[in-house]
Amino acid sequence: MLRASLREVSAALKEGRVTPTELCQKCLSLIKSTKFLNAYITVAEETALKQAEESEKRYGRGQPLGVLDGIPVAVKDNFNAAGIETTCASKMLKGYISPYNATVVQKLLDQGAVLLGKTNLDEFAMGSGSTDGIFGPVRNPWSYSRQYKEKSVPKSHSQEDEESNWVITGGSSGGSAAAVSSFTCFAALGSDTGGSTRNPAAHCGVVGLKPTYGLISRHGLIPLVNSMDVPGILTRCVDDAAVVLGTLAGHDPKDSTTIQDNFKPFDLPNLTDVSKLSIGIPKEYHAPGLSSEILSLWSKAADLFKNAGAKVIEVSLPHTRYSIVCYHVLCTAEVASNMARFDGLEYGHRSDMNKSTESMYAATRREGFNDVVRGRILSGNYFLLKQNYENYFIKAQKVRRLIANDFVKVFGSGVDILLTPTTLSDAVPYMEFIKEDNRTRSAQDDILTQAANMAGLPAINVPTGLSERGLPVGLQFIGQSFQEKQLLTVAKWFEKQVKFPMIQLEVKRHDHGAFQHQKSASFS
Amino acid sequence: RKVTVEVLDRLEHLALVDFRDAEGVERLQKAIQFADQLHEVNTDGVEPMDSVLEDRCLYLREDDVTEGNCTNELLKNAREKVEEYFVAPPGNIPLPKLEERETFLQGS
């Protein structure tokens, strides 16, 4: 039942084949047995069960609120959820209980969704591994899959090897991706500023949708880069993403950066004829470091469209390689501004230092932020200094326009959708990932996803196949502004063609704290 | 071209965040080096872009009070408070100068 898609389980609830409380309890139980993944920071067991009970009453009356009624979901811990701790995986917000719901959280709850808990991330969503938060790194569920284990060199089947071999989820929405991938929920919210939803989606073998900037409200999402942040949607299939999108999209008076156009939720048609489609393959996305496996998969995908009658052409986005540099400047500048609100006075961590407001603020921020966050704040402030403003910040804003224009030109020439890889390689082992620092890693890993944030375009990761190591690899579709329906329709067609395999997760029961092969429950 | 101690000091003042150690300073140096690549791009005649929604009108709603009265809720998260006030240490006291405060930069 937990392996079903959101729509399938919704139908089951409607037909009474399962009850919301049963579903909720199953998910909570699975969260407990997959605790080692460290995907959840907070599990809101009591409130979730209450929500499930309410949902059950509605189903009993034959009055469910909609498709999402009774569906267990999870939300990244940088979204405010009333009455629940929202930490952003930082000491700065540890103990902070949100006094309100982010608009997207409110919308999910209004539809009757059951909020299981808040998921783990990189501190303040800064990172591409979900490894740099105070609650520790998130483990990719595929580390514990039969597919990965079969492919790993069997040195000895010792527990230590397994322990050190686990791979990262990618980030920064790693907890959400892991939660969906390990079947503990049917949909999860992430955020996407440079690829933070699509990157972990690719590594965890799930669908990760970054909507057009301005489509979904950011009210209640603790901001990183106001001009690029968007809430992201993680699900196990494209149809499910469309359902969640339908619930979340639309103008919000509390977020003036949401567009006022009327948004109509849509069902995805079952596309059979792609002959009218024009797919663009941007040559600059053949980036240095792209693994030959992914290159090959990308090429096969292009052929798939070609053989089905679509027009597939190579295009150029000449400023792609400056996207990361541009992002680096604009991101740190906006971060410097957004992090200024954390001073210990109204919420969050507060230092005991009380000689003066400035010294209290300084001490609070010294104690509350990790190296990555502090580093970005300081860099951002540097680029915003009067002597640097024109040369760095304004310059980056100009380059941003060039990047956005690249896309306008390509889409204007008749291309409907772009097809690119999402990541440079499959998920790396944690031990290897931490050898490089956060900024280097982010610069490497965001290269294929960042430009879509720069231009505000919608993009989606679709799990495509398994690598030689038995780990998921995804491909990315980038669409035109506010053309989510077209984007998702094509993504759904592609998803159907590639038939990505289901994870064969092996969850061992660990008794008495010592790792023992006692029982092995296999989800296959 | 290294960043001077004066600038580093000024950054610590502006950001109210510390460099912590040599690694922190090195991190900034690397960040600047990385950002310098921007200067390779010709941006003559290009306007800076603030927002991807620049062609649209910003939404302004009516200036009517629609919510509030949540003082208690908001005060719950503050550590130091008195009645309905947030309590701050005395203001208008500038951060101690480089030589007088605890900062890694002192030794530089």
**A29 Cα to chain B: minimum distance (Å):** 31
Whether A274 has a pLDDT exceeding 80, the answer reads yes
Distance CA B4, CA B20 (A): 16
Contacts of B60 in chain A (CB under 8 A): 256
Question: Which residues of A are known to be catalytic?
Answer: 76, 172, 196
Whether B17 has a pLDDT exceeding 80, the answer reads yes
Question: A462 and A421 in contact (C-beta within 8 Å)?
Answer: no
Give the SS3 label for residue A356: coil
pLDDT of residue A521: 39
CB contact under 8 A, B38 and A395: yes
In a mutagenesis test of the B interface, which of A98, A230, A335, A356 is the best target, namely the one with the most B β-carbons within 10 Å? A356
Q: Phi/psi class of residue A413: alpha, beta or left (left: φ > 0; alpha: ψ in -120 to 50)?
A: alpha
Whether A245 has a pLDDT exceeding 90, the answer reads yes
**A444 Cα to chain B: minimum distance (Å):** 12
Question: Which token pair is A442?
Answer: 């982010």
CB contact under 8 A, A346 and B74: yes
Please give the average per-residue pLDDT across A39-53, as a whole number: 98
b/e A334-372 (16+ beta carbons within 10 angstroms → b): bbbbbbbebbbbbbbbbbebeebbbbbbbbbbbebbbbb
Please give the average per-residue pLDDT across A451-467, as a whole number: 97
Q: Could you please report the per-residue DSSP string of A134-156?
A: TT-PPBPGGGGBHHHHHHS--S-
A349 to chain B: closest CA residue = B79
Whether A519 has a pLDDT exceeding 90, the answer reads no
Tell me: the pLDDT tens digits for A300-359?
Answer: 999 999 999 999 999 999 999 999 999 999 999 999 999 999 999 999 999 999 999 999
Please give the average per-residue pLDDT across A426-432, as a whole number: 94
Of B10, B48, B93, nearest to A394 by CB-CB distance is B48
pLDDT of residue B61: 82
Question: A86 and A139 in contact (C-beta within 8 Å)?
Answer: no
pTM of the model: 0.94
Cis peptide before A172 (omega within 30 of 0): yes
In the beta sheet, which residues pair with residue A401?
none
Interface ipTM above 0.90: yes
Question: A229 and A192 in contact (C-beta within 8 Å)?
Answer: yes
A247 burial via Cβ count (<10 Å: 0-12, 13-18, 19+):
buried
pLDDT of residue A522: 38
> Across all residues in chain A, what is the average pLDDT?
93
pLDDT of residue B100: 76
Lowest mean pLDDT, pick from A105-109, A148-152, A479-483: A148-152
- Nearest CA among A171, A22, A17, A189 for reference residue A101: A189
Contacts of B47 in chain A (CB under 8 A): 398, 401
Question: Which token pair is A286?
Answer: 């053949």
**B94 Cα to chain A: minimum distance (Å):** 7
Of B15, B37, B50, nearest to A322 by CB-CB distance is B37
Whether A517 has a pLDDT exceeding 60, the answer reads no
B4 to chain A: closest CA residue = A382
Alpha-helical (H) ranges within A193-349 are 198-204, 238-248, 292-307, 323-338
Element (H, E) at B67: none
| Domain residue ranges of chain B, discontinuous segments joined by + | 1-39
Whether A53 has a pLDDT exceeding 50, the answer reads yes
Contacts of A251 in chain B (CB under 8 A): 59
Q: Which residue has the higher pLDDT, A362 or A159?
A: A362
pLDDT of residue A516: 29
Tell me: the pLDDT tens digits for A460-514?
Answer: 999 999 999 999 999 999 999 999 999 999 999 999 999 999 999 987 654 333 3
pLDDT of residue B107: 61
Q: How confident is the model at residue A155 (pLDDT cuts 50, 70, 90)?
A: low
Q: Percentage of chain A surpassing pLDDT 70? A: 95
Whether A159 has a pLDDT exceeding 70, the answer reads no
Tell me: the pLDDT tens digits for A7-31?
Answer: 999 999 999 999 999 999 999 999 9
Angle formed at CA A130 by CA A126 and CA A136, multiple of 5 degrees: 110
CB contact under 8 A, A347 and B77: yes
pLDDT of residue A421: 98
Tell me: the pLDDT tens digits for A65-91?
Answer: 999 999 999 999 999 999 999 999 999
Tell me: the pLDDT tens digits for B66-76?
Answer: 888 999 999 99
Q: Percentage of chain A surpassing pLDDT 90? A: 90
CB contact under 8 A, B41 and A322: yes
